[in-house]
Amino acid sequence: MHFKYTPKNPPRLGDGECRSLRVSMSLLLRKSFLHKCSRSWARAKFLLITVALLQFSMGTRVSAASDYRLAIFSADVTIPLNHRCMGVLPTKSKKIVDPLYAHGFVLLGAGKPIVFCAVDWCEIRNGAYDQWRESLGAAAGTSRERVLVSSLHQHDAPVTDSDAAELLEDVGLKGELYDEKFHNETVARVALALKDSLSEAVPVTHLGLGEAAVKRIASNRRVVRDDGGVSFGRGSSSGRNPFYADAPVGLIDSMLKTISFWNGEQAVLAMHSYATHPMSYYGRGGVTSDFVGLAREQRQRDDFSVKQIYFSGCSGDVTAGKYNNGSHDHRLELKERLYEGMVAAWQTTEKVALKEISFRNTPLTLDYYQHENLKRGRLETTLNDESATVEQRILAAMGLASRNRVEKRQQPIDFPCVDLGAAQIVLFPGEAFVGFQLIAQEMRADSFVFSIGYGECWTGYIPTNAVFADKFHDSWLWVNAGAENRIRGALERVLMTNSRTP
């Protein structure tokens, strides 16, 4: 059934007031029933009609019968001033341009609860990522692997990695990567918001599935130079360079996807995913959720009764560089284009009954990048070199933390899929390239695959085989060639179970 939803926001009492009134009315009805033998049935029927009219006039939601419930939570996660951004930016936070948030929800009724959380931070890595999942899992009463935490990857926001922070503390650089006290307090605050939300969970009976093409945002980093060589130099604000502005768009996924959850005829939440780096400009000291956060907030203002959550898709090699010159005007243009994509995807939404929710997870092991600059001895030398810049030593600590995870702890990445029957949600690690998102969609061409990037971020960039063949290299790369083969295998294990033939 094709279903177009027009946002409305009728005035209504607060949820707590509505619940109290419903409880009071329920007690009155029970008393009426107990005395129905001595009182006229007409009076009881009048009371029933009165209750219905009151509920209708207040705009209260009549909960439909469902096996599943959904609880929504949000918390401010804005970093303090003088805090480092993107892990290695030399200019620390000087002002708050707009706040950073963690927005999430909990799905209840499919075994242990399933948690989604989208954080306006650059990256959450290694022990810090485990800390987020363990804390939110404890608050929800679920296990760590069923907590899907994703950074949106704004660069004017923090990178947190407790393993790297410990290495830095050992060489006298405590707090240089991130403020650990602030981080711990923030995780606790988000966990408390989640826990408090559980008492407000509402039934969900239907899914809404919609998608629309986003115009003039995404472009691939890869461009072919005049001499035939390949460059991956098209960064987020490369539009000021005529060569990068004129080069073809390259490999992208132009579609913004939206999954919404409904309680009968009332939409409860809409989650969006689009594959692009979320920066218009950065590194100037202004903390911001950038154009993706601004678009999300604009969409939220359309209808406050439907929670809006945005995730960045697989976009390690996708930026706004063709269409963005790094000006504030272009930031606003990018925001408007993404917002228009959200609205367009909503207008194509088709509702389907939510009949099943299942969870699958598989361990993913990726090899550490075998590059001369990342040998253990060289990383340790840089970390301990007081003549090196603080940023160089931070990068060395991050590289060592990831190397220790792979070689010493041998801790795999959780690679989860939440299967909603008509749609599958997959969380990819790190800066997975857009090709992985397209691979997942090809595997389940019979369904609606919703890809989220920037889960466990110790990997940095995760290129496909084709990109490695182009000799891609970057200081933010910690995985070796062959990652695509491992991820394909993981996708087959979590996506192809119970798949349907088109």
State pLDDT tens for residues 27-56. Answer: 333 333 333 333 343 444 344 334 333 333
> Span 59-75, mean pLDDT?
75
Among candidate residues 355, 377, 407, the one where a domain is terminated: 355
Tell me, yes or no, whether 91 and 236 share the same domain: yes
Closest CA to 190 of 103, 288, 70: 103
- Over residues 458-487, the pLDDT tens digits come to 999 999 999 999 999 999 999 999 999 999
- Give the chain's domain count: 2
**Domain of residue 54, residue span:** 15-58
- Evaluate whether residue 378 is within a structural domain: no
Residue with tokens 């005049």, as numbered in its chain: 226
Q: In sequence order, what DSSP letters do the residues of 387-413 get, joined into one string?
A: TS-HHHHHHHHHHHHHHHIIIII-PPE
- Evaluate whether residue 468 is within a structural domain: no
Tell me, yes or no, whether 96 and 44 share the same domain: no
| Mean pLDDT computed over every residue of the chain | 89
Among candidate residues 339, 355, 371, the one where a domain is terminated: 355
* Residue 498 pLDDT: 56
- Over residues 352-362, the pLDDT tens digits come to 999 999 999 99
Closest CA to 321 of 249, 230, 213: 249
Find out whether 236 and 402 touch, Cβ atoms under 8 Å: no
Say if residue 447's pLDDT is above 60.
Answer: yes
* Residue 17 pLDDT: 37
Tell me, yes or no, whether 48 and 152 share the same domain: no
- Evaluate whether residue 159 is within a structural domain: yes
* Residue 304 pLDDT: 97
Find out whether 123 and 222 touch, Cβ atoms under 8 Å: no
Among the ranges given (16-25, 127-136, 154-163), the one the predictor scored with the smallest mean pLDDT:
16-25
- Over residues 256-300, the pLDDT tens digits come to 999 999 999 999 999 999 999 999 999 999 999 999 999 999 999
Please give the backbone phi and psi of residue 488, each rounded to the nearest 5 degrees, phi first: -60, -45
- Evaluate whether residue 375 is within a structural domain: no
Tell me, yes or no, whether 232 and 89 share the same domain: yes
Tell me, yes or no, whether 149 and 19 share the same domain: no
Instruction: Report how far residue 371's alpha carbon sits from residue 107's, in angstroms, rounded to the nearest whole number.
Output: 42
* Residue 6 pLDDT: 42
Tell me, yes or no, whether 153 and 289 share the same domain: yes
> At 302, is the secondary structure helix, strand, or coil?
helix
* Residue 496 pLDDT: 87
Alpha-carbon distance values, 48 to 13, 25, 41, 68 (Å): 20, 9, 11, 28
Say if residue 21's pLDDT is above 90.
Answer: no
Task: Give the model's confidence band at 65: pLDDT under 50 very low, under 70 low, under 90 confident, else very high.
Answer: low
Residues 6+ apart with CB under 8 A from 98: 287, 288, 289, 293, 294
Burial of 192 (0-12, 13-18, 19+ CB in 10 A): middle
Residue with tokens 């997942």, as numbered in its chain: 440
Among candidate residues 355, 372, 389, the one where a domain is terminated: 355
Tell me, yes or no, whether 32 and 140 share the same domain: no
Instruction: Report how far residue 378's alpha carbon sits from residue 375's, in angstroms, rounded to the nearest whole number.
Output: 5
In Å, how far from its chain's centre is CA 404? Answer: 26
- Over residues 90-104, the pLDDT tens digits come to 999 999 999 999 999
DSSP 479: B
> Span 6-26, mean pLDDT?
37
Task: Give the model's confidence band at 64: pLDDT under 50 very low, under 70 low, under 90 confident, else very high.
Answer: low
Tell me, yes or no, whether 82 and 54 share the same domain: no
